[in-house]
Structure 1
């Protein structure tokens, strides 16, 4: 009986020992795995790429605004009420076509007064001529003094001068009378009509609304050719050459491409935007594109820096001492190299010095990455870097 109890006790002790040993081994294994995982996590994963040469052609797409070749807002030169308008929105007009007529009774009265003043001055001048001739005749017979003859001649000259002034005044009102008829200044399209019959218009000030502000009566645009304006960033101003051609896309025709030829540039940069206004010319003989249209303009030109290397802008590291890039050597150690930066675009930057084609540059380096740190070079997931640079 005692022997059976001893065997049970020994068996129980063995089982307990095996259980304790199993627990110890599991803890040791878990601690080892945790240490391995911690050590592995301490080495960051990075994606690297090699610098490539800048392309021989530079291409950029910029927003632009299309305007008419000529565009004239038309204001009245006389005050009065709109008698009738004859051309509406979209009307094609020729130079001299009547757009509207203005009823100006006050001007008509002033014109009549000017003509009456001219007739009065002409009558006075005629009398002055007759009187002067008589005084000349009497002066030759020595029957009057020379002073009296001189006064008569001066009166004659004064009367003639007043006649000339009255004529100029009549001509002034004749010119204003012509402005009662609003005409098109050139061949084009009426893009705006801001008057109605009975509206009061103010001389030189357009149609007066309830707030007292003025606007043009009509706007006529010549759209057989168009002007395209774009703002070119300073770093790309070198593309503005006489033979530059732009490929234009407009919202109305998303599947079509139009051509625009470079015309001129402002030759000065806006200090707020660091851009220069460039003007292009577009043919619009079919009147397909309207002035005021938004345009997307694709420009292509020879790249005079094609011998330089290019990196994605995300690989640049801004430091107090200047611009650097993080490179990886053959031992997977990090080394920061200072670089000289050239033109900077949205996604790519030219590098004028500091690297060569054999360097492995880290794209998007971690902020806490230090000189000499060890890294694990990995291949990123598809779509992580679609800039065209080869991952190594």
Structure 2
């Protein structure tokens, strides 16, 4: 069934439109108020979220950073420095006199007198002591008497032989008798030579009763006094040392150079001495010679130095430190010994790269300076090398550098010394 359409006139339509507009105008303020309320609530909620979430996010970020820092290993690093261009060694030296000898007696007897005490400078041939040996004097007198008898017998035998040779020319004697006289003369001549030799031996032995200095030097020991019994070793034991002489105007200094440094021994090596009693003073020395072979017990090379000691300041037997230096053809880098790592692949060092990433580099060692070592291969010189690396450090680990040193202390000290 069809509903009838109402007839709407223009005036009615205008009235309806006016009424609707009035209703809409009345509703608009209410909607705006609700919208502002909603926006205000949203702003309050956003502020509350910002006040609660942002600090938490910041705290989480800070915690993450601190956790990463705590996980990363903290290391100290040092940068390599140039190793000294001179190879230097400081070794203990044995200072000895250029000539040093004990003086013994050659004859038995009693010491009659001594003429030089310890510390006395003496010249070669100077009388040091006299020994009273009457037995030697008696034997020398007997030898002179035997020599005189032998000389007389020889003279008689010689004249007899000459007469018999003259008689043989006139055929007054037999040839056999003449030969016997000539042979007797020759035997008497040999007896005379033996007697003279014995006399010379005893005269030389008698001269040993005077103890004389064998060279210019200083008496460093006197072990006898007047009236002491002198035994020259006739009892079967060693003889007693009477004096000890030392020539200290020139010294020999012996030093044992380790095998790894024996290559520096040569004419280019420079040397000097320092002694505890003269702090801060250097005594020049000259490398005279070396053994030319490594000692199989100590695995070292024996080097001998000559030192001029005309002033006598250095006493023989003193302890001295010998300083040796020689130029190096190629100097490496200097690092503290506590930077080395000993791994299966050999000697290594830990290097901190970009971003704190760790790298393990194998190196080749050169000279050993004690607390420092020379690196000849494996580093360029600009790396940050980890000091006291732990066994747990591995290549690729991220580390945090706590302290970096621009150069090693020993290299700086060595450069200042040079």
After the TM superposition, which residues 10-159 of structure 1 pair with which residues of structure 2 at under 5 Å, given as runs? 43-159=72-188
Distance 1:275 1:41, change over 3 A: farther
2:81 touches 2:411 (CA, 8 Å); kept in 1? no
Distance 1:63 1:135 in 2: 81
1:75 touches 1:204 (CA, 8 Å); kept in 2? no
User: Paired residue for 1:6?
Assistant: none
Distance 1:49 1:157 in 2: 96
Q: Which moved more, 1:69-78 or 1:311-320?
A: 311-320
After the TM superposition, which residues 152-191 of structure 1 pair with which residues of structure 2 at under 5 Å, given as runs? 152-191=181-220
Distance 1:150 1:275, change over 3 A: same
User: Paired residue for 1:377?
Assistant: 401
User: Paired residue for 1:8?
Assistant: none
SS at match of 1:198: coil
User: Paired residue for 1:330?
Assistant: 354
Q: Which moved more, 1:191-200 or 1:85-94?
A: 191-200
Distance 1:38 1:195 in 2: 86
Distance 1:276 1:148, change over 3 A: same
Per the TM alignment, residue 164 of structure 1 is displaced from its structure 2 partner at its CA by 0.8
Distance 1:45 1:200 in 2: 80
Q: Which moved more, 1:57-66 or 1:186-195?
A: 57-66
Distance 1:244 1:90, change over 3 A: same
SS at match of 1:378: strand
After the TM superposition, which residues 337-356 of structure 1 pair with which residues of structure 2 at under 5 Å, given as runs? 337-356=361-380
Larger Rg computed on CA atoms: 2
Which of 239, 244, 249 in structure 1 is aligned with 2:274? 249
1:333 touches 1:374 (CA, 8 Å); kept in 2? yes
User: Paired residue for 2:32?
Assistant: none
User: Paired residue for 2:241?
Assistant: 216
SS at match of 1:271: coil
1:243 touches 1:261 (CA, 8 Å); kept in 2? no
User: Paired residue for 1:270?
Assistant: 295
User: Paired residue for 1:279?
Assistant: 304
2:79 touches 2:404 (CA, 8 Å); kept in 1? no
Per the TM alignment, residue 93 of structure 1 is displaced from its structure 2 partner at its CA by 0.9
SS at match of 2:147: helix
Matched, 1:303 2:332: no
Per the TM alignment, residue 212 of structure 1 is displaced from its structure 2 partner at its CA by 5.6
Distance 1:223 1:337, change over 3 A: same
The structure with the largest helix share of the pair is: 2
Distance 1:120 1:42 in 2: 113
Distance 1:164 1:213, change over 3 A: closer
Per the TM alignment, residue 193 of structure 1 is displaced from its structure 2 partner at its CA by 1.2
2:232 touches 2:239 (CA, 8 Å); kept in 1? no
SS at match of 1:47: strand
User: Paired residue for 1:5?
Assistant: none
Distance 1:37 1:162 in 2: 114
> Gapped runs of 5+ residues in structure 1?
1-28
Per the TM alignment, residue 45 of structure 1 is displaced from its structure 2 partner at its CA by 2.7
Per the TM alignment, residue 37 of structure 1 is displaced from its structure 2 partner at its CA by 8.7
